[in-house]
Structure 1
Amino acid sequence: MSRMDAVDRAILDVLRDDSRTSIRDVATRVGISRANAYARVKRMVDTKVIRKFTVDVDHAAIGLGLSAYVHVRTKQNSWKSFRKKVWELEEAAHVALVTGDFDCVILVRARDADHLRELVLERIQALPEVVATQTVLVFEEHVGPS
């Protein structure tokens, strides 16, 4: 996408708040015509500014109330194979290649401390690419302004 203006950013704010907002409501809230809102959203989808529409899940309500960031140091040149294996873990919610003392950060969701222990000690650390891990528990989680 060449350039986003204030209207595009306002549309994104509306959709980030509720991705199910109708085009009619987006247009009303942003102060543009429905046709203009539709064209702008379509352009942002087509150019991958908007990658997907999603829902905000209460993880505790579905039995995954314990979240943690697992920092992982991997063997050199093993990121691609490691990433593929991590995405096979149903508990992995986000995987990022990072700089610093560790190579990767994984946001995981677990039922409880026993599940988290099993995930980190028996499954993640067992991957041949893994050199070391550090686990950081999440006490509170917030997505966007609330």
Structure 2
Amino acid sequence: MEWVAFLFLFVSFWAFLWVLLSLVLPQPPSRWRQGLQTSAERLAGRFRRRTVPEPDPFDTLRLQTRLGDLAGKIRRVEATPRIYAKAHRLMALEAAYDDLLDEACRLAGVPAEADLKRGDEKRWHEEQELASRGWSW
């Protein structure tokens, strides 16, 4: 008869421990709760304001440095009277400069001009917009 009491205490101890652990340990959410949570997050995402992150000042500085470097290279190629493949070098440097200007305009929040094609006029306009926003290179 003692063994029955010992068995009863043993089983009740482990049952008590199991209940205690189930109360303490986190339970995974049910499917219904997960579905409700994702729906609520999706709905809240529609009404939440999307904030535009501030540009990193080091990205801005890096971009200004690259613009200045390319502008110097363009001036150097234009000033050299006889250079091998001068037109090809100028076209490549100006294309890279235009790409950097586009990136700088996106970073500075300059609205894109849809009617301007790549060229001197668009380049001048973007340079003026960036200079009016305090950019220098």
TM-score greater than 0.5 by the shorter chain: no
Greater Rg over alpha carbons, structure = 2
